[in-house]
Amino acid sequence: MTNNFEIIRDFLTEQFSSLNSDDCSVKDDIFYNVEFYNVELIGRKKDNALVDGKVKSYTINTICDLDKYKQEIITICDALKVRAYISVNYKSHKQVTLNTLLKYTNNIAQDCFSNSRGIYDSTVAQFADSKKQLWIIDVDKDDSFDKSVDELTDLYIKTIESCKPYKKIVAVIPTKSGKHIVTHPFDSSDFYLKIGDLVKLGSNLIKKNDMTLLYENI
């Protein structure tokens, strides 16, 4: 089992720090209406999930939302053998709405209505603020290299921090088979040059707008 609720709560607390309030009844109207994080419950065939694909999604506007949905998410994941993921990049209610409207308008102009239901979900997934974007470094054990997940994680963190522009690692989040390093963008060419032979592991190492694991009990 991987239960990252406390780690994610700390991560979101840092990201939501501009609220300057721990009171769930107090909302900054601008923040509350503009930014959110997206949680998705997803079933995979390889996990023998009872449902294949997305089961449900949640909009996390505040830490209180994460707390409110925690038990429901765990219950559904346990019952259906699915995983819960959360975006590491915030989503903009305004931009997602405008981008969704634009896609609907384009579809109407082209007389195309086959994917109307999935447009909002895809728009949420695609959105990332380039000025505040976070990347995920996906660390998994590879038997072709004599290094553990912890050793690879330490190596990648040291390499990332040696690349420009220097910024501290945001978070390290456990996954079912490894870890996710959440970081600010850096010089990826320099990173791949420095890790050398490990570049074989790194073809899909950097995820520039992805989700990390919140919970699984597979």
> Distance between CA atoms of 24 and 63, rounded to whole angstroms?
8
> Distance between CA atoms of 62 and 156, rounded to whole angstroms?
31
State the pLDDT at residue 128: 87
State the pLDDT at residue 115: 77
Mapped onto helix, strand or coil, the DSSP state of residue 215 is strand
> Distance between CA atoms of 164 and 190, rounded to whole angstroms?
8
* Listed residue (154, 87, 98, 89) closest to 123, CA to CA: 98
| Kind and range of the H or E run holding 193 | helix 188-195
Are the C-beta atoms of residues 182 and 11 closer than 8 Å to each other? yes
Pair of tokens at residue 34: 């503009």
Give CA separation, 214 vs 42, 106, 132, 166, in Å. Answer: 11, 34, 21, 27
Say which DSSP state 164 is in: S
Are the C-beta atoms of residues 127 and 169 closer than 8 Å to each other? no
Mapped onto helix, strand or coil, the DSSP state of residue 173 is strand
> Distance between CA atoms of 51 and 43, rounded to whole angstroms?
5
pLDDT along the chain (218 residues), means of 10: 97 75 44 77 94 94 94 98 96 91 91 83 89 92 77 93 90 95 93 76 79 97
Mapped onto helix, strand or coil, the DSSP state of residue 72 is helix
State the pLDDT at residue 167: 84
Are the C-beta atoms of residues 176 and 183 closer than 8 Å to each other? no
Determine the angle formed by the axes of helices 119-126 and 93-109, rounding to 10 degrees: 130
pTM for the whole structure: 0.87
> Distance between CA atoms of 184 and 31, rounded to whole angstroms?
21
- End-to-end CA distance of the chain, in Å? 7
Mapped onto helix, strand or coil, the DSSP state of residue 114 is coil
Cis peptide before 165 (omega within 30 of 0): yes
What is the residue whose two structure tokens read 């896609």? 103
